Chains A and B, each alone.
Chain A
Amino acid sequence: MLHRKYATHVFLVLVVCGTAGVALRYRARHDLQHGLDDTAWRLMYFIEGEARRAAADLRAAAPADTAHCRVFRQDFRQENLRINPRGRSSAQGWEVVARAERPGRCQMTLRFDLRLNPRASWLTHELRGTLTADQRAMWLRATPEIQVHHPVVSEILTAARDGGASQSGLAQRLYQFCRAQLATEDVEAADDAATVLAEGRGTPLGCARALLALCRAAKIPARPVAGFIVTAGDDAAAHVWVEVFQEERWVPYDPVNGYEEELPSNFVPARRGDDQIVMARGVRNLRVEYDIDPLPRGVLEITAAGRSPADILDLTRLPLEMQRVLALILLMPFGALVTCLFRNIVGLRTSGTFTPTLLALCFVFADWKTGCIILVAAFLLGIVTRYLIDGLKLLILPRLSIMLTLVVFCMVFGVSALEYFRIAPETQAVLLPMAILTMLVERFYMTSQEDGARVALQHLAGTLAVGFCCYLVLCWEAVAQWILAYPEAHCFTVALLVLIGRYTGYQLLEPWRFRDLANERAA
């Protein structure tokens, strides 16, 4: 009883350990999988201007972290400017603040290295909640470019309201109006809201402003967002889209590219609440250029935490060739499990405990054709030789050594013969365990002498049958990959072995073996 309780505890502990191990590793691998989708980008700002006085300042909004984007490295170079290393954090975002040291030409180059991952969902400080009265007034106000009270704006708004939409539905209708009615032109077009709405065309900035004006006129707080669309291309430029305050959060709309409520992962905002990335005070002839370039992925790995002892537990980091061998070794317990199932549950007799598993292992290394031909040849020749050797009356070790030599010859010339007949043998067939094959022959011979050919053949058939099943398991590529990734799953294997070890019921072949006894009772 004590044993049973103990075995139950061991079983439960193993199952819990296995589950925990697999779950932990699954999480870790999940993150790693995300890592595979990572791309690295370099975003450059080239800012140039002429300071009219000392203490003229430049403020450049840095790309903000989003659920899909992280800045992992940054670097600033400047001329005639002093950069505040801490920058300035505000409701609009994080800015690089530089102050001119003396009047005259000044310039700075900002470099941000971004890590982008479309499948990640990194934590962001998303602001939720109501707006204060000041904030609300700010995001409803009219500006020279966003003419909230312009008759064109009111007219369109009245038309949109006719549908009787709710406040949030209204924002969506306004976005759809802009998307459908406003043509985006890059040059020679207006960029203030009233003109864009009147003419039905405008610059991308103008279109964004038109949507802002409509929203604000409808008393929906709305703000511009200046940022970047991170793609490979020559003409990198800042892009402006709109955020509308709906249901206690800021919801993005991009009337130019046609995105609502959710933006693609390569949209990286820089400044919220204004449509300029770089703002200057006391600077003349401001010139701003941007550049976006992809970086090699290796950059990300260098910046990763580096090697840690925990990596030892991760077998998937090893070279592929090594992985293949380790996966096979990791499959061995499954082979042993199969053997246990056949011997203890089915009741099949085999010659030698792990002979079937080891034979199967060799067949995996060699191709099965070569393996079979050499196995059969070596076995038959071995049996014949064993009968012949018997007349010599040799002691056991020298006799076994002679058999081993013969098996070796069979293998070598078997491979050679296959090559001659162009059956393309695998030299790995030589890895067939010679000692095991020798013992198989010896056991077969001894059993046939002691218990008769019938029993010997039964044992041989059992060995081959179990070996074949082991082979099927060892060949299972998906299982090999899986067990290499989750080696702790062998906790389940051991748990199963504990169960089999505690099984005291009938073996499957026993009802057949004892059939007469039950028949007699039935009579």
Chain B
Amino acid sequence: MVRFRWRCWAWPRELRQAGILGMNQRNASYILPHNPRQYFARVDDKLLTKQICEQAGIPVPHTLAVLERQGDVRRIAGILGDRAEFVVKPTQGSGGRGILVIAGRTAGGWITSAGEEIRQADMQYHLSAILAGLYSLGGRPDRAVIEERLTRHGALAHVTVGGTPDIRVVVYRNVPAMAMVRLPTVASRGRANLHQGAVAAGIDLSSGRTTGGVCRSRIVDTHPDTHQPIAGIVIPGWQELLAASVRLATRLELGYVGIDFVLDENRGPIVLEANARPGLAIQIANRRGLLHRLRAIDSDALPRLFSVSEATGSARHRWRDRHVLGHASAR
């Protein structure tokens, strides 16, 4: 058990020593130079991300339908048939906005994963709102995509309430730099949204084992609803997940990118989306700053982009073991 003094303030010097990456530095030193503007569309549009993933052989949720025009909305009942489980998403949404997870069917509509009833009119309104651009960046007209609902993996079931946990890996110059898992709570109404009270837990990159958690920016050791310990859970298929994140980052040609996975019971880690402006909360979840790791990756003078085979080769493994995974905290 870690004991620490409670303080409401930390000196910038302490943050620097801890290697905390600040918002300004993230924008100016990592996003601006490493993420070319013209490639942002690859992550801002989920359908495009999906295409890239499929080309690279990275598993993604199967697309059931894509709605592009308001006219399609009326035909939604025909498109969906009697399907009971699916997910509705805006293709250009951010921060999980506008995502509707349907878990069951009723006589006049559907039931969401959180247990709310959605009638057909509600569904049509939601789809119209997506197409009108309510959830898209800058309010541009958008498309709605209907995907299969993934089966929740049992490994995280005891620390999840209501929704599906997702795993975020921050990949810097095609080397995984940090990872966390976001666990839905009652407060977050089944969504993996940290603002609303979901729990975030850091993941040790070398072993895929979770470390302690954070809820509303404060450190927690157990899940607030299930009271199960958060630390020590091994993420199944961790090495495939890391390899997939590196492969996707290479294909996206973005130097600083956050890639979100969900664990499917049958298919293993599946890419949900990628984010060209990954948030800084991952540092709190890992209780560790990103800067030391990013600098370690820089200091190895890697070529800006390297092939997947190289990234997963033994030389890289050794490099990664030495500099990034696990031992980075010693720096």
- A516 proximal to B (CB < 8 A): yes
A-B contacts counted at CB < 8 A amount to 122
Q: Which of B22, B28, B139 contacts A506 (CB 8 A)?
A: B22
Nearest B residue (CB) for A506: B22
Residues on B with C-beta less than 8 A from A520 are 2, 4, 219, 287
Residues on B with C-beta less than 8 A from A510 are 15, 20, 22-23
**Bound: A450/B194 CA distance, A:** 11
Residues on B with C-beta less than 8 A from A397 are 132
Residues on A with C-beta less than 8 A from B227 are none
**Bound: A446/B11 CA distance, A:** 35
Residues on A with C-beta less than 8 A from B331 are none
**Bound: A71/B4 CA distance, A:** 85
- B288 proximal to A (CB < 8 A): yes
Are B20's CB and A523's CB within 8 A?
no
Residues on A with C-beta less than 8 A from B217 are 513, 516
> How far in angstroms is the closest Cβ of chain B from A256?
75
Binds A, one of B107-115, B121-129, B151-159, B259-267: B121-129
> How far in angstroms is the closest Cβ of chain A from B295?
14
- Majority secondary structure of chain A interface residues (helix, strand, loop or mixed): helix
Nearest B residue (CB) for A343: B23
Q: Which of A452, A507, A512, A519 contacts B4 (CB 8 A)?
A: A519
Residues on A with C-beta less than 8 A from B5 are 519, 522-523
Are A518's CB and B197's CB within 8 A?
no
- B299 proximal to A (CB < 8 A): no
**Bound: A396/B28 CA distance, A:** 34
- A320 proximal to B (CB < 8 A): no
> How far in angstroms is the closest Cβ of chain A from B44?
18
- A344 proximal to B (CB < 8 A): yes
Are A511's CB and B15's CB within 8 A?
yes
Q: Which of A394, A451, A506, A519 contacts B7 (CB 8 A)?
A: A519
Query: Given A450-B95, A506-B20, is A518 in contact with B15 using a C-beta cutoff of 8 Å?
Result: yes
**Bound: A474/B97 CA distance, A:** 36
Q: Hey, what's the 0/1 contact readout for A501-517 against B, CB within 8 Å counting as 1?
A: 11111110011111111
- B275 proximal to A (CB < 8 A): no
Query: Given A450-B95, A451-B196, is A516 in contact with B128 using a C-beta cutoff of 8 Å?
Result: no
Q: Hey, what's the 0/1 contact readout for B1-16 against A, CB within 8 Å counting as 1?
A: 0111111111110110
Residues on A with C-beta less than 8 A from B4 are 516, 519-520, 522-523
Query: Given A511-B10, A514-B284, is A506 in contact with B196 using a C-beta cutoff of 8 Å?
Result: no
Nearest B residue (CB) for A501: B28
Residues on B with C-beta less than 8 A from A518 are 7, 10-11, 14-15, 17-18, 20
**Bound: A180/B66 CA distance, A:** 109
- A333 proximal to B (CB < 8 A): no
Residues on B with C-beta less than 8 A from A452 are 195-197
- B210 proximal to A (CB < 8 A): no
Are A505's CB and B284's CB within 8 A?
no
Query: Given A397-B132, A450-B97, A520-B287, is A512 in contact with B9 using a C-beta cutoff of 8 Å?
Result: yes
**Bound: A516/B196 CA distance, A:** 19
Residues on B with C-beta less than 8 A from A512 are 8-10
**Bound: A520/B124 CA distance, A:** 49
Q: Hey, what's the 0/1 contact readout for A240-260 against B, CB within 8 Å counting as 1?
A: 000000000000000000000
Residues on A with C-beta less than 8 A from B96 are 450
> How far in angstroms is the closest Cβ of chain A from B34?
13
- A347 proximal to B (CB < 8 A): yes
- B245 proximal to A (CB < 8 A): no
Residues on B with C-beta less than 8 A from A22 are none
- B133 proximal to A (CB < 8 A): yes
Are A517's CB and B10's CB within 8 A?
yes
> How far in angstroms is the closest Cβ of chain A from B218?
7
**Bound: A517/B288 CA distance, A:** 7
Residues on A with C-beta less than 8 A from B97 are 450
> How far in angstroms is the closest Cβ of chain B from A123?
54
Are B129's CB and A519's CB within 8 A?
no
**Bound: A394/B288 CA distance, A:** 45
Residues on A with C-beta less than 8 A from B283 are 514, 517
Q: Hey, what's the 0/1 contact readout for A339-372 against B, CB within 8 Å counting as 1?
A: 0000010010000000000000000000000000
Instruction: Give B223-246 interface residues, CB cut-off 8 Å to A.
Output: none
Are A503's CB and B17's CB within 8 A?
no
Residues on B with C-beta less than 8 A from A446 are 134
Residues on A with C-beta less than 8 A from B121 are 393
> How far in angstroms is the closest Cβ of chain A from B114?
13
> How far in angstroms is the closest Cβ of chain B from A305?
50
Are A511's CB and B197's CB within 8 A?
no
Are A514's CB and B10's CB within 8 A?
yes
- B24 proximal to A (CB < 8 A): yes
- A395 proximal to B (CB < 8 A): yes
**Bound: A501/B17 CA distance, A:** 24
Residues on B with C-beta less than 8 A from A517 are 10, 15, 18, 20, 283-284, 287-289
**Bound: A361/B22 CA distance, A:** 32
Are A344's CB and B24's CB within 8 A?
yes
**Bound: A515/B20 CA distance, A:** 10
- A381 proximal to B (CB < 8 A): no
Are B284's CB and A503's CB within 8 A?
no
- B29 proximal to A (CB < 8 A): yes
- B55 proximal to A (CB < 8 A): no
Query: Given A451-B196, A516-B219, is A521 in contact with B22 using a C-beta cutoff of 8 Å?
Result: no
Interface positions of B (Cβ within 8 A of A): 2-12, 14-15, 17-18, 20, 22-25, 28-29, 95-97, 121-122, 124-125, 128-129, 132-134, 139, 193, 195-197, 214, 217-219, 283-284, 287-289
Q: Which 8 A-B pairs have the closest CB atoms?
A: A518-B10, A393-B125, A523-B4, A518-B14, A451-B195, A504-B25, A506-B22, A396-B132
Can you report 10 residue pairs joining A to B where beta carbons are below 8 Å apart? A396-B129, A396-B133, A450-B97, A452-B195, A505-B25, A506-B20, A506-B24, A506-B25, A516-B214, A516-B217
Kindly list 11 other residue pairs between chains A and B, CB separation below 8 angstroms, not including A396-B129, A517-B288, A523-B3.
A504-B22, A505-B12, A507-B22, A507-B23, A511-B11, A513-B284, A514-B284, A516-B217, A516-B219, A517-B20, A522-B5
